[in-house]
Structure 1
Amino acid sequence: MARPRKLQEDLRIYQVNIRLTETEKLKADEQAEMAGLSVANWLRTAAFSKKTLQVKVSPMHRTYYRQLVGIGSNVNQLARKINQNQYPKIYQQLLDVKSLLIKINEIFQE
């Protein structure tokens, strides 16, 4: 089965050529890649859309965010135990969480 034809008003039949400097081209490429779009689609969206383009998060940063969420959950559990006067039992866990947070901070500082 063939793909249905687009309506005449939906066809992109006009072409606009622009010239960019090397810096502008690199910036357009970078922005388009961060938005997960082609340069043409990024430029079209940036020109005609009132909303700001959403930057997609890289898989590496997504992994870091998941780890931070897990650490935050652990910190909440530890705080709860501290508030229940179970502090001596969890002192080592607090030190482990502290060392993990220091390592993550060092990674983001690089």
Structure 2
Amino acid sequence: MARPKKDIESIKAIITSFRLSVDQYLALAHNAESLGITIPDYIRKKISGRPLPRTRISPENRKLFVELSRIGNNINQLTKNSHLRMHSPKILFRQLAELRHLLQELKSNIKNK
């Protein structure tokens, strides 16, 4: 069974070309690549006003977000423990110092990339 034919309005029958400067092309290619779509699809979506897909997060940034989330959870646990006085202040200060050290490492990793 054959696929139904498209209506005339949805057929892509017109081919067009236009000139861009190198900077314009690089910006266009970067925008399309960051969204994970081709340049023609990017242009079609921009012209039609359809919403563009969300920007993809790089695997490196995803790892950083996960690590920051873990650090945030640790800080929340330390805060809760300090309010409940479950641990001695020395232990809490040591753990807080370790978390500060981890944050400094993350900041330096982000700046070096």
Question: SS at 2:72's partner residue?
Answer: helix
- What amino acid does structure 1 have at the position aligned with 2:92? I
Q: Which residue of 2 aligns with 1:81?
A: 81
**Partners of 2:29 and 2:45 in 1: how far apart?**
14
Q: Which residue of 2 aligns with 1:35?
A: 35
Aligned length: 110
Residue by residue over 1:39-80, the C-alpha shift from the partner in whole angstroms, topping out at 9 and shown as x without a partner, is 111112122216465321112111111111111111100111
Cα RMSD of the aligned pairs, angstroms, is 2.0
TM-score by length of 2: 0.83
Asked whether the equivalents of residues 46 and 53 of structure 1 are also in contact (C-alpha less than 8 Å), the reply is: no
**Partners of 1:49 and 1:100 in 2: how far apart?**
43
* Deviation, structure 1 residue 3: 4.6
Residue by residue over 1:11-48, the C-alpha shift from the partner in whole angstroms, topping out at 9 and shown as x without a partner, is 11112211100111111111111011101111121222
Q: Which residue of 1 aligns with 2:99?
A: 97
Higher relative contact order (CA 8 A, sep 6+): 2
Q: Which moved more, 1:40-49 or 1:72-81?
A: 40-49
What are structure 1's unaligned runs of at least 5 residues?
none
**Partners of 2:5 and 2:102 in 1: how far apart?**
56
- Give 1:40-55 correspondences, 5 Å limit: 40-49=40-49, 51=51, 54-55=54-55
TM-score by length of 1: 0.85
What are structure 2's unaligned runs of at least 5 residues?
none
Q: Report sequence identity in percent.
A: 25
* Deviation, structure 1 residue 106: 0.9
**Partners of 1:2 and 1:60 in 2: how far apart?**
45
**Partners of 1:38 and 1:106 in 2: how far apart?**
34
